[in-house]
Chains A and B, each alone.
Chain A
Amino acid sequence: DAGVIQSPRHEVTEMGQEVTLRCKPISGHNSLFWYRQTMMRGLELLIYFNNNVPIDDSGMPEDRFSAKMPNASFSTLKIQPSEPRDSAVYFCASSLGPMVQENEQFFGPGTRLTVL
């Protein structure tokens, strides 16, 4: 398997623009996670899906952020409008399932977002 795939790897945009990040989880994995990593705040969970259903979105910072998982092999994280403070590395991760014994998360390479 190719692992978790994210695109784009780098994104530079201007404040106010819409940004869409994409993720393809590992085939057969039922749980998908979106994280944001910054020096100031570390690695933060934004939202977590199980079987394509959002289970917990308490980490989504505000209404400008939205995430979807239309099918088992694709998810998007959208920021509209983007702001400079959204600059971070966004990781997508997947795991076999939500049970604690299916704990290991496989991370994608991340998308480095810069909002000017």
Chain B
Amino acid sequence: GQSLEQPSEVTAVEGAIVQINCTYQTSGFYGLSWYQQHDGGAPTFLSYNALDGLEETGRFSSFLSRSDSYGYLLLQELQMKDSASYFCAVRFSRAGGSYIPTFGRGTSLIVHP
């Protein structure tokens, strides 16, 4: 089956750097995505890694190691508005050629002043 593991909660102070890890077990892996969701809101796309290495988008970076079935989201210069839930998601292939998205349970990031 498919499974993703990420910490349930992470806390940090404003201005700091925080890393949210995600490990996965899936067959037919086709990339790792990250989404942000504020309380009462909808998930919004942050990043996608198909290949090993680091992808940087402003204050956010995402890393993937396919050999380790592991990735992380790095948030720098934390701001209060970064307090939200962060989900890793993978797409895996099912027989018939469809690519099925599966989300982790989410990590609640709490940023303190």
Contacts and interface: CB of A to CB of B under 8 A. Distances in A.
A100 B100 contact: no
A98 B92 CA distance: 12
Interface stretch (A22-30, A74-82, A103-111): A103-111
21 contacts: A33-B101, A35-B103, A42-B104, A43-B103, A44-B103, A45-B100, A45-B101, A48-B98, A56-B94, A91-B43, A98-B98, A100-B30, A101-B50, A104-B33, A105-B43, A105-B45, A106-B45, A107-B42, A107-B43, A109-B42, A110-B42
B44 interface: yes
B44 A56 contact: no
A108 B42 contact: yes
Contact of B48 (A91, A104, A106): A104
A-B interface, 10 closest residue pairs, ranked by CB to CB distance from nearest: A107-B42, A100-B30, A43-B103, A42-B105, A104-B45, A55-B98, A107-B43, A103-B48, A56-B98, A100-B31
A2 interface: no
A49 B42 CA distance: 20
A85 B100 CA distance: 25
B99 A98 contact: yes
Interface residues of B, number: 24
B41 to A, nearest CB: 8
Interface string A27-69: 0000001010000001111001010000110000000000000
Interface string A85-106: 0000001010000111101111
A48 B76 CA distance: 34
Contact of A43 (B31, B99, B100, B106): B106
Nearest to A55: B98
A2 to B, nearest CB: 14
Contacts of A110: 42
A105 B104 contact: no
A45 B102 contact: yes
A50 B100 CA distance: 12
A35 B42 CA distance: 11
A3 B43 CA distance: 13
B106 A42 contact: yes
